[in-house]
Copies of this chain bind each other. A is one copy, B any other.
């Protein structure tokens, strides 16, 4: 099999050949995550040149698509922000209750931008600084919306704002889900507990406690915290991952383990 760690637009040139040669592929680029070729073109500014395989690639988020991954030949490994966002929102969205709005306030460490020599990523620029970027226009939003819509059984929209944290590795998303019908904090917490009870890499924090990026650094864990407003209609979920592990290479290994019938946690705990 092949792990493809290529820049976007390079993957879609190489993947078809590798697949044709009969190898299994786990692609770490963004080329096969958004299923609509038009959507890809809109957000990434390039025409998709391998729409045939685009529809075949399985989204490699094991907590949601483990069965499909088991028999897949071709995996689109999820983005870092989407992994943290979808895992944090899935239990609530999957109940298919009426939702009025979803805000994803996302914060990422500098390694999330990739290892490229860019002025904005220099130590003196990022250190002792914090800012928002790509406000309501981040290319990861449609990836998140696509899989939330599948879960919800209907078109689901999010408001996504990315921020640059002065840390090397780590993502923490704070997500605000406005409900039509209220839910108690205990109900919300139980919902999450049940949803992830068998998952080796999702850890739900106890009531009143919140995840920290430090606790997931260098691990494949996604840590979650749940809060509910006093009127019960606003659910706040915080989710933390290491963008380089559960948000990238670690998740790719987890997918490989599943595809080959290995123990899913092999090499990851």
Contacts and interface: CB of A to CB of B under 8 A. Distances in A.
Interface of A: 100-101, 103, 105, 107, 109-111, 115, 117-119, 121-133, 135-136, 159, 161, 163, 165-170, 172, 174, 176, 178, 210-214, 217-218, 225, 227-230, 234, 236, 238, 240
B136 A170 contact: no
Given A217-B128, A234-B136, A174 B166 contact: no
B236 A161 contact: yes
A119 B122 contact: no
Nearest to A122: B121
A131 B172 contact: yes
Given A159-B229, A178-B101, A167 B119 contact: no
Contacts of A136: 227-230, 234, 236
Contact of A174 (B111, B118, B127, B132): B132
Contacts of A119: 115, 117
A119 to B, nearest CB: 5
B176 A130 contact: no
B178 A212 contact: no
A169 B135 contact: no
12 contacts: A105-B174, A115-B119, A117-B119, A117-B122, A122-B123, A128-B168, A129-B214, A130-B170, A130-B172, A131-B211, A131-B213, A132-B225
Residue in A122, A130, A176, A227 whose Cβ sees the most chain B Cβ within 10 Å: A130
A230 B166 CA distance: 30
Given A130-B170, A136-B229, A124 B111 contact: yes
